[in-house]
Structure 1
Amino acid sequence: MGQLMLNRVISMQRESRRLQIQPHNGTADSMVDRKDSTCKQDHCSQGGEIQYPGPHLPEDIWCHIYSLLPMRDAARAACVSHAFKRTWRCYPNLAFNMITLGIDIESCGEDGIARNFTNKVDHILKNRPCIATKTLEIVFRYYNAKVCNIDSWFQAAVTPGIEELTIELSSKSGRYYNFPWSLLANESGNSIRYLNLARCAFSPTDELCFKSLSRLELSDVAITGDQLGSILHNSFALQRMQLKFCNKIICLKIPFHLQQLRYLDVFDGGSLLRVIEVEAPNLSNFQFMGHRKVHLSFGVGLQFKKFDLYFPGAISYVCADFLSSLRYVEDLSLGSRCEMIDTPVLHSKFLHLKHLNVDLQAMTFSPTYDYCSLISLFDASPFLETLVMNVLQQKMLHESIVGDTSHLRQMPGHHHDSLKTVKIIGFSSAKSLVELTCHIIENTSSLESLTLNTTTGHPFDSCLTNNTGKCNLLGVDFMVEVGRGLLAIRTYVEPKVPSGVELNVVEPCRRCHDQPPPMP
């Protein structure tokens, strides 16, 4: 194994020599700048020149090559020579998790796992000189405050010049780790470019200044809106921000001075968040997913390119209260598990929209909802090219077209001349859904491909056998509706599909039909 790792290092040496032993300019200079060589700042370079196996290269080049290895591989490579062992002590990218530390969770209980994890991290940091750390990652799902020495780890590893910090902790008690923000209230905070915290408490100091921070991810962090504002106060370089399940935030404010911010993702797992106010003028990608409706307020002149909105009633919300910021959107995703009223008619248009995703899947759905009301949304998108709809229902409550003797409704005057690809997941025999499908076929001269998927559409749910040899699809009721949906396709849809349009019908495999046969 050691020889294999050595071969890998030598191969990387040759590639690095080909790419970097050249005149430097721009950011490449900093990668091999001898003034920045951490190996030459500590005792790793004492006692004469280190003799590395392979081609003769300057020591700082060797240190840089070595730093490109994943931590587990770097530790293994340190076993093949004294030079690599001494370079290992200068390794700047620390990743402490169950895999890199080689901990077997089956060998002992949670307290034993915590002790093993702690001992290995302590050993690594104890034998490591006080040098600059570039990246630090601590991911531990068995966190035990009585065993883990995490505070001392931060003291040793969070040094001025650190660029990336990832802390993901969880414990059986559910208690949050009180992250020591004071460590970042100095030069260490100024150099941070990427900060990722999960399951931590927030108690920052007023001296926080993240002038280099370009990406911020907070997941299940006990933080309020005002406390988040203290982080964003001086984060002028921030480009991406993701908030997941930070359930203490009631009003999320994204200030105007975040002029570099392009991406904002918010996942709300609680019920406190009421308002999202965005003043950052150049935000172009926005995503919100929550269990309840929130009020959205966007600054004047904001122009989205990609906009994703998922909460109960999201489709009606967007169509009834058309946001001027969506006039230039190119990729729009709307999801709702509770759309109780028909989609309102839009009085404005998405003049730049090319890709539309409508997600209406639900455990149960209003049986009165008319899928044809979505036509107004399509009409407001004259340049739409791709349409994906997810209408999966585990129990279909709509009126079925199977056995219905009435004629299909016609909606004349609606033409879609740019639409090329249509995909409907969870296709059923709901009469209004069949009518909508037929309307698209008859009024879309540009249509090239139509996919009707009668399964869940999820790769992990479709036709995967379990221990009994049967497929893991949904229950018998679902299979009955699949049969009705396939019958509706054969009876009403297929005859209307032009010869130039590719029709793809996705149905369960034959093993699925080993269950009680569906009845039309």
Structure 2
Amino acid sequence: MPMRHAAQAARVSRAFLSSWRCHPNLAFSKETLGLNENACVNVKKSKYFASTVRHIMKNHSGIGVKTFRLDSRRTPMYNFPCSLLSDGGGESLRYLHLAGCNFHPTVRFGCLRSLTRLQLCAVCIAGDELECLLSSAFALERLALKHCSGIICLKIPCLQKLNHLEVLTCIGLHVVESKAPNLSSFCLAGDLDMELSILGTSRIRKYERFCSGTVFYARTELPSSMPNLETLTICSETETVDTPMVHSRFLHLKCLTIILGGQTYDVFSLVSFLYASPCLETFILNRISLLEDPPILRNVSEHHHSKLKQVEMIRFSSVKSLVELTCHILDSATCTVNKCGKCFPIRRDALVEAQRALLAIQTYIKPKVPSTIQLNILEPCSRCHVVEMSL
């Protein structure tokens, strides 16, 4: 039963009231409290939101709340009362998710000894305040920070059980320092000049990085700093330096996803990743925008990627370097190649490019497809886009 309905039932049923007060999972938002869009910008309604949260938490004191979610992004000037989780109030808490509020824990905040997952989104909190909170979260396994611009230096203490760290678009962040020895999954969106000090990077199996220039960085730096990577996702909106062919290798990499742009980037240079990953099974390439067009189709020395089972090209185009890369994969692997996109509104220039891409597939790629390889092509729906193409 949704929390709003449970609270309403508790008003009219004494028996249900007792049951409601023992409910261990609480979620607060404008929807669960019945506040519409106009009400949420009203100061009185904002006070109502705050008083309701405090009242419900007071009634649940001592019963062992396990999950606490609060989203006040559409309720202005909400200060989360840390007293709600102090004096033993947070000892049973396992999952804490706060969004769109001011949150300022201090040394008197209390112990969160049962907390295994913490997620803060658009929360106003300073780095030292977060460090104070983490210092008592000995059981923490997953930490996610999104759009927390007040954090300049993120310091994570020696949390033995922390295995997943996610830091996305915290625009004020300059330093990430982690002493957690067992981190195995790390997701980071931030500039390459961000100072990173991560203990035990050799234990990291999954890494996601979102920033311009990260393709070059990943190929040249990660094989040595994260030698045991199994899953790698890199996204670069602007990649102007081609990927070099270097000797370092990803000996354990099984899944590689690359999302890239860069108007002068040579996609064919991504073959360096294929050569460096002898255990690669899945390769996904999502092209944002490419204008580079080498004069002739190139090829490299024959190299078999025997482990590669699936290749997916999203937003495939007629750019020759992309055609070259696809041809190389077909010549050197036994796998399924998917060239796909979804049927949604598409600009006319994109539809024209899609037709060019289909022509490139028919001309250069299909003749190279052996009988052991399945080629799947998902093209723009002719029924949905016939009008646009005829304009």
Q: TM-score, normalised by structure 2?
A: 0.89
- When the two chains are superposed, the root-mean-square deviation of aligned CA atoms in Å is 2.9
Residues 508 and 293 of structure 1, relative CA distance in 2, 3 Å threshold: farther
- What is the correspondence of 1:90-105 to structure 2 with a 5 Å cutoff? 91-100=23-32, 103=34, 105=36
Aligned residues: 388
Cα distance, 1:285–1:335 mapped onto 2, change above 3 Å: same
Match of 1:163 in 2: 66
- 2:285 & 2:209 partners in 1: Cα distance? 14
Aligned partners of 2:188 and 2:208 also within 8 Å: yes
Equivalent position of 1:50 in the other structure: none
Change (3 A) 1:236 1:302: farther
If asked which structure has higher relative contact order (CA below 8 Å, sep 6+), I would say: 2
Change (3 A) 1:182 1:78: closer
* Partner secondary structure for residue 154 of structure 2: strand
Residue in 2 that maps onto 1:201: 102
1:297 deviates by 2.6
Paired with 1:192 and 1:90, the residues of 2 have a C-alpha distance of: 14
Q: 1:449-505 deviations in whole A, cap 9, x for unaligned?
A: 11112xxx3xxxx334xxxxxxx12x1111111111111000000001101211111
Residue 321 of structure 2 corresponds to 432
Once the two structures are TM-superposed, the CA of residue 509 in structure 1 deviates from its matched residue by 0.8
**Residue of structure 1 in register with 2:118 after alignment:** 216
Aligned position for 1:420: 309
Q: Report the structure number with the largest CA radius of gyration.
A: 1
1:463 corresponds in structure 2 to 343
CA distance in 2, matches of 1:318, 1:112: 45
Give the C-alpha shift of residue 353 in structure 1.
Answer: 0.9
1:213–1:238: 8 Å Cα contact kept in structure 2? yes
Normalising by the residue count of structure 1, what TM-score does the alignment of the two structures yield?
0.68
Q: List per-residue Cα deviations over 1:101-138 (Å, max 9, x = no partner).
A: 5x4738xx4269886xxxxxxxxxxxxxxxxxxxxxxx
In the alignment, which residue of structure 2 is the partner of 1:509?
381
AA of the residue aligned to 2:85: L
Residue 246 of structure 1 corresponds to 148
* 1:451 paired residue number: 338
In the TM superposition, what are the counterparts of 1:143-154 in structure 2 within 5 Å? 144-145=46-47, 148-150=50-52, 152-153=54-55
Matches within 5 A, 1:384-423: 384-393=280-289, 396-399=290-293, 407-423=296-312
- The 5-angstrom pairing of residues 339-350 of structure 1 reads 339-350=239-250
Query: Contact 1:114/1:148 (CA < 8 Å) preserved in 2?
Result: no
Deviation at 1:248, TM superposition (A): 1.6
Structure 1 segments unaligned to the other structure (5+ residues): 1-68, 116-142, 401-405, 465-471
C-alpha distance in 1 between matches for 2:389 and 2:27:
52
1:99-178 to 2 correspondences below 5 Å: 99-100=31-32, 103=34, 105=36, 109-110=38-39, 144-145=46-47, 148-150=50-52, 152-153=54-55, 156-157=58-59, 159-160=61-62, 161-171=64-74, 174-175=76-77, 177-178=78-79
Q: Name the aligned partner's letter for residue 336 of structure 2.
A: S
Equivalent residue for 1:403? none
Q: 1:150 to 1:326 in 2, by over 3 A?
A: same
- How far apart are residue 82 of structure 1 and its match? 6.9
SS across alignment from 1:322: helix
Q: What displacement does 1:410 show?
A: 1.5
User: In structure 2, do the counterparts of structure 1 residues 111 and 180 end up closer, same or farther at CA, with 3 Å as the change threshold?
Assistant: closer
Change in 2 beyond 3 A, CA 1:92/1:476:
closer
What is the CA–CA distance in structure 1 between the aligned matches of 2:123 and 2:35, rounded to whole Å? 28
Instruction: Verify: 1:383 aligned to 2:284, yes or no.
Output: no
Residues 151-203 of structure 1 show CA distances to partners (whole Å, capped at 9, x for unaligned) of 7426624624333222211247x53x222223323211322221111122232
Q: Could you tell me how far 1:352 is from its partner in structure 2?
A: 1.0
